[in-house]
Amino acid sequence: MRPEAIAKSHRPSDLLKYVKVIGAGDIGTLFVRIDKDSIDRTINRFDDYTINESVKANISAIDDIQLYDFNDVVRVKDESIHKNVKVMLFNFNNEEDDENNFEYFKSEIDKLGLRIDNIRTYGSLEYFEFYEINNDSINQMSNIFNIKSIVDENYFVESFEINPVGTKFIPNLDNYEITDTYIGIIDSGIFENSIVNSYVVSREVYVAPEYQNRKHGTFVASTILFGDEMNNRIVQSNKLFKLIDVIAIPNGDKDYGLTDSLSDSDFYDIIEEVMVKYSAYVKIWNLSLGIENIIARNDGISAAGGFCDYIQQKYGVQFIISSGNKNSSPLRTYPSNITDDSDRICSPADSGAAVSVGAIAEYEDDNSIVKVNQPSPFSRRGPGANYMIKPELTDFGGNVGILNDAYYITNLGEKGLGENDILFENIGTSFSAPLITRKFATIFDELIDKDINLCKALLIHNAKKDGIKLYDEASEHRYFGFGQPEFSPQNVLNTNENEITLIFKYTIFPGNHIEMKNFPYPDSLRRDGKYFGEITMTLVSEADFDINYGSEYCRINFEIGFGIDSPKGFSSEVPLERNWDEKYEKSMIENGFKWNPIKVYHRKIKTGINDTGDWKLRIDMVQRAEEQRKPKTFVLLLTIKGDEYSSVYNDVVNQMKEQAYNMIDLQTKNSIKTRIR
């Protein structure tokens, strides 16, 4: 479709009245199902008696019509024999049609002398596995019209080399306390002769002993527990957590021992089995892993990313996933020297529900590629599918130096534990992710109401509000996400007198909206007929995902507006009303967070906003054209901040009391001054 027709309201729906939309590819590309009856009925709309202006507009919205062919279907390596290929069919979103669709597919492969070896279904992700299949069979199968894709099996490989620092680490345990919060670690395992093993309360083993190499998993687990202390940072959270050690990834280092890899299908089986056993009480899971050769695409989510979304929604858990490392030369400078997508995030970090984590440099020297707090040279960047903000957050993951055309990391990496509690140094988003996992778990442990989306919103809101730097441009979001959260949970949860954070949690139906009129904007930020202050808003919503819809993977969208309700009408000040290139959908998606389940907006009002009416907060929810109406819950955090002399907190609370708003303090283990409505 033409760019101006991508939005739901401008789709050629009238023209497609008898043609069923069954999916989507890149932005502006729809997949439609046609048959003789639908073609005949559509042609009949073009006679002199039935054509109208709507149909004419529909026709003008279409840029091109193409047949889905071999080049769209087949995405396999150039190999004579493929160990395992996965075939995905088009989904017709109708039980009877999909059953007929499968029977037709089965009859066609029977004619080719092929056999389905396995069928896997995970929510909207369904595929058929064929083992030990040759290229001729794949080419013949690609002619079956209802096949959407044929792809190879993918593998997680762990090859991990670390630089020994040579010092044995002994944590000061007097500074810590054990909590009742659990963290699951799906990795290569934790050495049993490490102090970290003292916090392992359960272990699941999926790798035979002779194929195990627990270096990576131990480094990750030690970073979750003692990352700050090992790296000589101020330890501002004294919490320690109970660990579930899932040994899933085999050794990939030939110098260490026997090697193997983990297929994505086995990865799915392991995670589902683990979730059945632990998800009732283990809500936070660290996944410092990735499939390097599967990078994020504009035309849809990766299979592993879609699977992770299915699991998180089915079992009510939160995955924190490393964004992945670029391991090939050249490594990236900042600003970037890379002009292609070779440094884009890899699967499964494109998961829409996960918190994906990139890396920034904590140290620099004269020969380091980037400076302190810049994106690490190896850290993969966004966006995700449909321009979703990926990674959402960043934390310290190391730097790289280059001297005499050789890379080095000495004194530029992060420290973690190996066998026998010896300190080692390494780099990677594998080690920035556990820092975010720790911060997430710290907030989660503080909350009385264990709300995952509230916890996610609090963490992201803090990164935007109190982080090292404000990242407001789309180009910056690709590398930093919304920033690096503060170390201290008190900074995340507490409020000063010159600011207030309001938390709104509602359930809303598509097509409906919520308004908070006469919003209590603080009197101390109003002077000379103008409003001032600094405003930060973070919205995290439930989401519906459908892997069949490519760039339209996220099926619902929340829109926020906070501004002045004047006699001329409502105008949003945060986010500012913009034209977005004549409101083309693609511009709104790329730059305005549209169809993103996480939205963050910030504005510092420097010159003032004219006092022409009362403030109003408005939240709308819309859904894709093909979706059924279902209510969704969102969490919105809104912070208003003034200068150090303003009385923002008391101003807002007093006005809310006068207006009889229902207010309660956010219930945590420690009393704080954040309000929830």
SS3 345: coil
Q: What pLDDT is attached to residue 507?
A: 94
The answer on 365 and 238 residing in a single domain is: yes
Q: What pLDDT is attached to residue 418?
A: 94
Q: What pLDDT is attached to residue 1?
A: 47
Q: What pLDDT is attached to residue 563?
A: 95
List phi, psi (to 5°) of 493: -100, -20
Helix axes 215-230, 429-446, angle to 10 degrees: 60
Q: What pLDDT is attached to residue 522?
A: 97
CATH number at residue 86: 3.30.70.1510
The answer on 458 and 333 residing in a single domain is: yes
The answer on 380 and 298 residing in a single domain is: yes
Angle (CA) 441 445 446, round 5°: 120
Cα–Cα distance, 54 to 44 (Å, whole number): 15
Identify the burial level of 670 via C-beta atoms within 10 angstroms of its C-beta, where 0-12 means exposed, 13-18 middle and 19 or more buried.
exposed
What's the total number of domains in the chain? 4
Is 72 within a domain? no
Identify the burial level of 179 via C-beta atoms within 10 angstroms of its C-beta, where 0-12 means exposed, 13-18 middle and 19 or more buried.
middle
pLDDT tens sequence across 49-99: 456 666 666 667 677 888 888 788 998 988 889 999 999 999 988 889 899
The answer on 554 and 573 residing in a single domain is: yes
The answer on 136 and 23 residing in a single domain is: no
Helix extents (H) in 167-302: 215-230, 264-278
Q: Which of 128, 153, 178 is the last residue of a domain?
A: 153
Q: What pLDDT is attached to residue 124?
A: 87
Cα–Cα distance, 598 to 663 (Å, whole number): 25
The answer on 611 and 588 residing in a single domain is: yes
Count of residues making up the chain: 677
Cα–Cα distance, 252 to 319 (Å, whole number): 24
Nearest alpha carbon to residue 303 among 153, 188, 186, 105: 153
Is 502 within a domain? yes
User: Which residues on adjacent β-strands are paired with residue 396?
Assistant: 360
List phi, psi (to 5°) of 423: -75, 135
The answer on 176 and 49 residing in a single domain is: no
- C-alpha distances (whole Å) from 247 to each of 207, 367, 419, 440 are 6, 37, 16, 22
Is 48 within a domain? yes
Peptide bond into 434 cis (omega under 30): no
Cα–Cα distance, 350 to 309 (Å, whole number): 10
Q: How many CB atoms lie within 10 A of CB 513?
A: 14
Taking the CA atoms of the chain, what radius of gyration do you get in angstroms?
Answer: 26
Name the CA dihedral angle for 67, 68, 69, 72, rounded to a multiple of 10 degrees. Answer: 140
Q: What pLDDT is attached to residue 65?
A: 82
CA atoms within 13 A on the CB side of 610: 4
The answer on 44 and 92 residing in a single domain is: no
CA atoms within 13 A on the CB side of 372: 7
Is 158 within a domain? no
Q: What pLDDT is attached to residue 490?
A: 65
CATH number at residue 406: 3.40.50.200
What pTM was computed for the model?
Answer: 0.93
The answer on 477 and 539 residing in a single domain is: no
Is 499 within a domain? yes
The boundaries of the domain holding residue 627 are 495-676
Q: Which of 489, 521, 552 is the last residue of a domain?
A: 489
The answer on 356 and 376 residing in a single domain is: yes
Cα–Cα distance, 243 to 282 (Å, whole number): 9
The answer on 337 and 242 residing in a single domain is: yes
The answer on 167 and 142 residing in a single domain is: no
Place of tokens 């139906």: 509
Q: Which of 473, 489, 505 is the last residue of a domain?
A: 489
Q: What is the mean pLDDT of each run of 10 residues along the chain (677 residues)?
A: 51 71 83 83 65 66 79 88 95 89 96 96 93 95 93 86 86 94 98 97 98 97 97 92 98 94 95 98 97 91 96 98 95 96 97 98 98 97 91 97 95 96 96 97 94 96 76 81 80 80 92 91 96 96 92 91 93 76 64 87 94 95 82 95 94 92 76 48
Is 71 within a domain? no
